[in-house]
Every structure is written in structure tokens, then in C-alpha cells.
């Protein structure tokens, strides 16, 4: 399949999902007022949707127009912002509202090149305003979009360095539905938020499962890759040791990360510590790998290892499968006796199995 054809299929499937399955509801969805779109995007920077919603509603109540925000007293605006943090966002919000009110007759600029020049507005926010308010063909690129694209195309380029940002920006622009940029941008962001989630993505029921390269290669939980994440101090590694007859699934760590070139079992890295109950394992295996029929052999105690710049915490969960699922068929399966010939990180070798199921 050519890149152009795949892009077309991805575009079509995402729009199909948006039109038939996207149930995500937020007060600013479908909004065409550039002021309200801009306000929602600024509030949601560094803020979860659940938290930002109440702030957005309060701001709209007190400042229904950009002119009312521009004319407000600084202290009152800062008080409404209280709790959101990153106060430079609020300062830039006021500065831009006053610039538009005083120098642009209170009319939000309609051209992308003008929007991106406004204080506090970067490439993502400019693309969001341009596409949602004015239906201009600019692709948004937030964390959800990075994740969707990285998984569909199995992209191992880090999303947070200059080369990665450039590559993903060009790919997002290529895939964008130029005739319906507002609907497509909303579709891919919502898809990342509700289906292609960071943890426990709904791969088993995903409309794009058959063309998702990460799913086919068993790389879903590895992607996207971020250089900054690789440097964080606390990380949670949960290894799934899949056994089929006398074979074990093993993969090699190849990215620029700790333990490069050493072997490991199937890894799920999470943002925080997880309590691996049978229900959580059932749900994770079903959604991520379409595994329904399996035997849970053991869950190790929690193991920790302190490295020079980071602390690793995790567990080993041993699973026996009766058939190799399609999602894991392209990965390496070796016989149990061959395991002793492979080099594993000390962290994995330190697991003890005390909790038999």
C-alpha cells in the first residue's frame, strides 16, 4: 500500500468513526466563535478537560466577548484563573484580548499567519482556531494526535525533538481532510482521547485495527516515544511474560533508552502505579491484544530498582495463551531453554514469583 493510499484510508476511517461513533461531548465542540475556541484552548494547556471545563464556563459567564475580557481588571481575571497555574497563560490571554480590542476593532484575525503572531498562541492553538473557527486547512497536533499517528504508522521518531515535530507536522497535514478540516481535527483528537488512549487503548474494537502498524507489530504500548519521558525520574514497567506451549515471547529494547539492546518480555509502561487485579488484566489483554482465552499463572511482588537518574518500579505477570493472537504473531517467540542464553536487564532477572494464581 502506498503512503498516499494509506493516508486516504486513515482519513476516511477517522471521518467514518467521527460521524457514526464519536460520542465525546464538550461545550466548545462545534463552536465557531474564535474567541471561545481560543479561550478553551488556552485554558486546556497543561490542564485536564475535567478541570478546565468549570474554568471555561466561569470565564464565558463573566466575559462573554473578547471586549469584556479586555476591559476587565487584572486582579479579577487572575482570581478567576486561580488554581490553573502557569499564570503566564493568563497574562498572555489579557494582553491578546486587549491588543485585538484596541488595535483590531475587537475582531479576531481570520488568517493563520496573523493568528499565530498573537501573544501566547503557538502552532497547535493557531491551527485549532484557524480550522475550527474559519475552516482553514491546518492540522492540529496535540498529544492525542501524536499518539494516533505514531501508532497507526509505527513511528519510532521521538515526538518532542525538532526532527520528530517536523515529521509529525508534515504527516498530520498530509492526512488532513482539506475540505472538512474542522471535523477531521476534532475527529482525530477525540479518537486519541477515547479510543487510542495512552493506557488500555480499545484496539480490539478499533475501526483502524487492520491498518494500524503498531497493533500488527505489538508496539502499541511503546508508542509514541518521547525523549523527555525517557529521562523522567519515576517510571512504572509492567512485564507480561506470554507463554505458548514451550515458547515465550521476547523482544529486544532498541530505542535510545535504558537497557538498550537487552531483551525483555512484553512491556506496558504506565504513567503511574497500577493495581493489577484479574479484572484489569482481563480488560487490558482484551482491548490491547484481543486476548480472551488465557490462563493467569502468577503476578510477582512489586520490584524496584534505583538507577542513576531514575527509579523503576514494576511487576512480572505471567500468562499462558492457548493460541498466539494475531497482534503478537509478528513478534519473536523462543523456546524456554533458549531463554538462559539471552541477556536481560537486572530488573527483570530480579523478579520473584510468590503470588501464584
Known catalytic residues are 41
The C-alpha angle with vertex 190 and arms to 63 and 88, in degrees rounded to 5, equals 40
Q: How far apart are CA 300 and CA 279, in angstroms?
A: 17
Amino acid at each position: 500500500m502506498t503512503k498516499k493510499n494509506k493516508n486516504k484510508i486513515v482519513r476516511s476511517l477517522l471521518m467514518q468513526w467521527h460521524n457514526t461513533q464519536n460520542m465525546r461531548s464538550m461545550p466548545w465542540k462545534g463552536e465557531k466563535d474564535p474567541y471561545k475556541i481560543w479561550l478553551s484552548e488556552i485554558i486546556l494547556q497543561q490542564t485536564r478537560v475535567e478541570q478546565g471545563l468549570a474554568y471555561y464556563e466561569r470565564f464565558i459567564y463573566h466575559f462573554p466577548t473578547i471586549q469584556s475580557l479586555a476591559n476587565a481588571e487584572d486582579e479579577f481575571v487572575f482570581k478567576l484563573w486561580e488554581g490553573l497555574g502557569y499564570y503566564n497563560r493568563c497574562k498572555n490571554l489579557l494582553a491578546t484580548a486587549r491588543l485585538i480590542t484596541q488595535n483590531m476593532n475587537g475582531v479576531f484575525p481570520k488568517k493563520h499567519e496573523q493568528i499565530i503572531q498573537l501573544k501566547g498562541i503557538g502552532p497547535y492553538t493557531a491551527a485549532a482556531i484557524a480550522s475550527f473557527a474559519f475552516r482553514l486547512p491546518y492540522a492540529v497536533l496535540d498529544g492525542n494526535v501524536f499518539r494516533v499517528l505514531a501508532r497507526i504508522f509505527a513511528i519510532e521518531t521521538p515526538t518532542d525533538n525538532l526532527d520528530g515535530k517536523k515529521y509529525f507536522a508534515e504527516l498530520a497535514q498530509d492526512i488532513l481532510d482539506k475540505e472538512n478540516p474542522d471535523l477531521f481535527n476534532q475527529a482525530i483528537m477525540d479518537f486519541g482521547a477515547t479510543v487510542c488512549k495512552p493506557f488500555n487503548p480499545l484496539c480490539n474494537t478499533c475501526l483502524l485495527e487492520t491498518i494500524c502498524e503498531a497493533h500488527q507489530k505489538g508496539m502499541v504500548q511503546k508508542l509514541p516515544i518521547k525523549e523527555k519521558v525517557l529521562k523522567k525520574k519515576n517510571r512504572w514497567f509492567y512485564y507480561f511474560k506470554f507463554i505458548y506451549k514451550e515458547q515465550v515471547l521476547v523482544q529486544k529494547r532498541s530505542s535510545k533508552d535504558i537497557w538498550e539492546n537487552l531483551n525483555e518480555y512484553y512491556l506496558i509502561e504506565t504513567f503511574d502505579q497500577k493495581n493489577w487485579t484479574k479484572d484489569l488484566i482481563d480488560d487490558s489483554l482484551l482491548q490491547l491484544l484481543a486476548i480472551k482465552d488465557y490462563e493467569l499463572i502468577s503476578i510477582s511482588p512489586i520490584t524496584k530498582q534505583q538507577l542513576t537518574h531514575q527509579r523503576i518500579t514494576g511487576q512480572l505477570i505471567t500468562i499462558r495463551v492457548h493460541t498466539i493472537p494475531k497482534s503478537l504473531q509478528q513478534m519473536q517467540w523462543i523456546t524456554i531453554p533458549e531463554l538462559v542464553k539471552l541477556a536481560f536487564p537486572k530488573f527483570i532477572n530480579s523478579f520473584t514469583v510468590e503470588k501464584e494464581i
